């Protein structure tokens, strides 16, 4: 199968590499020449374990190439995957201008029947607009179908998710389009769910919003636990033993971030309210998540009283481990609040420091980026753990304590055993645990 992938961002790169690995002839196309040049030179613009090797292997095999000639890629393809950005506005609605631009370009280059696949996360009913746009600009009158095939890629494990998916959703409304999609995902027919397009478009938002709700729920329980003698870790374990609930996404902490959960939650709220549906449950989920940073900072204030002129070490800048993505990371709001209150920050992250520099440039005084967690802790009045990187779990806490001005540890991800932290000499604060 000849496939064009429009857009070489996070979703586009993983999709292109994965489809090439399945044996299809894939061209990744992007109008930004610098991005294509970097990819060809193996300077991958994102950190995702295994992606660099997968891209290189399929380029060597000849199943994957990259181009800035989007028109040529579309004309040569049987199927066109649209993987462009849909950034979110202040009201939660998605900016669909890149989807519209791609649709017009596809229309202008229709030289025969093609399937146009929505891979970007889009609001329900987007397919109607894609179909209308292509029809308006399809001067040659070539036949086409629109299909929804939402992505379910977790940052940090996206390659594995694509090559070994737990489910593949295909929203198609013609047998011809459905059959082409079945050929693309032939090896996963047992994991394919075929629906109409509206259903497929809604599944992605519904899935991520439910997981966000689950996280906010256990954070609500953490607040209850902190006012009792209950332990949220054991509450979550007891809940997770119920197969109707399950253990995943019951990890209390400082809240969820990233490019999916916050964006998709707000988008579904907007979609529902535009349709006249009461979305209060999801609004409360978002409110609870936004409040996690305040809860965390209140713990810090209770330990230090005044934050002005205090030196705070922050371990973990990415919104989750195994990624360099800082979008909607709780650490951003934490650092901003610390700086606003007159504190200085010493920051460390194994992968995300360079991205965070774009928001908080290093000034050598109030904002310092450190090469190791131990360097970050030197002279600090408090140490904040904001991302549960594996390397942080194995730190020598006694060594860190000796280098700090005050032995105060705030664990925003419940990464450490409370007894071990206190045995190392720390005044230890965690989430939902005494």
Residue at 371 is within a domain: yes
CATH of the domain at 420: 3.40.50.720
Domain ends where: 166, 195, 224? 195
Residues 263 and 345 in one domain: no
Instruction: Write out pLDDT tens, residues 25-63.
Output: 999 999 999 999 999 999 998 899 999 999 999 999 999
Domain ends where: 236, 261, 282? 282
Residues 257 and 190 in one domain: no
Residues 254 and 180 in one domain: no
In this prediction, the residues of the chain whose per-residue pLDDT falls under 70 are: none
Say if CB 132 and CB 124 are below 8 A apart: no
* DSSP annotation string for 40-84: HTT--SS--TTHHHHHHHHHHHTSEEEES-HHHHHHH-SEEEE--
Residues 149 and 108 in one domain: yes
CA atoms within 13 A on the CB side of 89: 9
Residues 174 and 227 in one domain: no
At 4 the pLDDT is 98
Identify the bridge partners of residue 429 per DSSP, sorted by sequence position.
410
Residues 276 and 297 in one domain: no
Give the helix/strand (H/E) hosting 115. Answer: strand 114-118
Q: Which long-range contacts (CB under 8 A, 24 or more apart) does 419-427 make?
A: 421/397, 424/397, 424/398, 424/400, 425/398, 425/401, 426/397, 426/401, 427/303
Say if CB 342 and CB 307 are below 8 A apart: yes
Domain ends where: 165, 195, 225? 195
At 50 the pLDDT is 96
Catalytic residues: 260
Nearest Cα neighbor of 342 from 372, 302, 305 is 305
Query: Which burial class, exposed, middle or buried, applies to 68 when counting CB atoms under 10 A from its CB (0-12, 13-18, 19+)?
Result: middle
At 76 the pLDDT is 97
Residue at 287 is within a domain: no
Number of structural domains (the chain) is 3
Residue at 300 is within a domain: yes
Residues 303 and 262 in one domain: no
User: Which residues form the domain of 403?
Assistant: 292-429
Residues 297 and 278 in one domain: no
At 88 the pLDDT is 82
């Amino acid at each position: 199968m000849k496939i064009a992938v429009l857009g070489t961002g996070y979703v586009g790169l993983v999709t292109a590499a994965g489809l090439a690995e399945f044996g299809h002839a894939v061209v990744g196309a992007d109008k930004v020449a610098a991005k294509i040049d970097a990819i060809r030179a193996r300077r991958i613009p994102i950190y995702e374990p295994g992606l660099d090797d997968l891209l290189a292997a399929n380029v060597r095999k000849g199943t994957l190439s990259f181009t800035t000639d989007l028109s040529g890629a579309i004309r040569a393809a049987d199927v066109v995957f649209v993987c462009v950005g849909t950034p979110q506005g202040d009201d939660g609605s998605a900016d669909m201008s890149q989807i519209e631009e791609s649709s017009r370009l596809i229309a202008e280059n229709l030289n025969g029947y093609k399937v146009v696949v929505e891979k970007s996360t889009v609001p329900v009913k987007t397919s109607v607009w894609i179909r209308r746009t292509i029809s308006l600009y399809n001067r040659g009158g070539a036949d086409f179908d629109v299909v929804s095939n939402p992505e379910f890629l977790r940052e940090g494990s996206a390659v594995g998710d694509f090559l070994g998916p737990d489910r593949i959703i295909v929203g198609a409304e013609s047998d011809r389009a459905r059959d082409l999609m079945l050929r693309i995902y032939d090896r996963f027919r047992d994991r394919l769910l075929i629906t109409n397009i509206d259903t497929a478009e809604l599944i992605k938002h519904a899935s991520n919003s439910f997981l966000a709700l689950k996280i906010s729920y256990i954070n609500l329980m953490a607040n209850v636990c902190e006012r009792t003698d209950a332990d949220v870790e054991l509450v979550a374990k007891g809940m997770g033993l119920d197969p109707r609930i399950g253990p995943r996404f019951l990890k209390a902490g400082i809240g969820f971030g990233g490019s999916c959960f916050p964006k998709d939650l707000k988008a579904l709220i907007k979609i529902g309210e535009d349709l006249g549906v009461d979305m209060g449950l999801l609004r409360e989920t978002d409110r609870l998540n936004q409040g996690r940073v305040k809860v965390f900072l209140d713990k810090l204030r209770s330990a230090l009283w005044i934050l002005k002129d205090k030196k705070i070490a922050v371990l973990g800048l990415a919104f989750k481990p195994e990624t360099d993505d800082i979008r909607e990371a709780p650490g951003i709001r934490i650092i901003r609040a610390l700086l606003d209150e007159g504190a200085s920050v010493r920051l460390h992250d194994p992968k995300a420091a360079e991205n965070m520099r774009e928001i908080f440039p290093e000034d050598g005084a109030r904002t310092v980026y450190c090469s190791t967690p131990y360097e970050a802790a030197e002279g600090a009045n408090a140490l904040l753990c904001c991302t549960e990187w594996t390397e942080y779990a194995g730190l020598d806490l006694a060594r860190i304590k000796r280098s700090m001005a005050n032995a105060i540890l705030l664990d925003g991800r419940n990464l450490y055993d409370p007894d071990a932290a206190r045995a190392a000499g720390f005044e230890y604060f965690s989430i939902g645990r005494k």
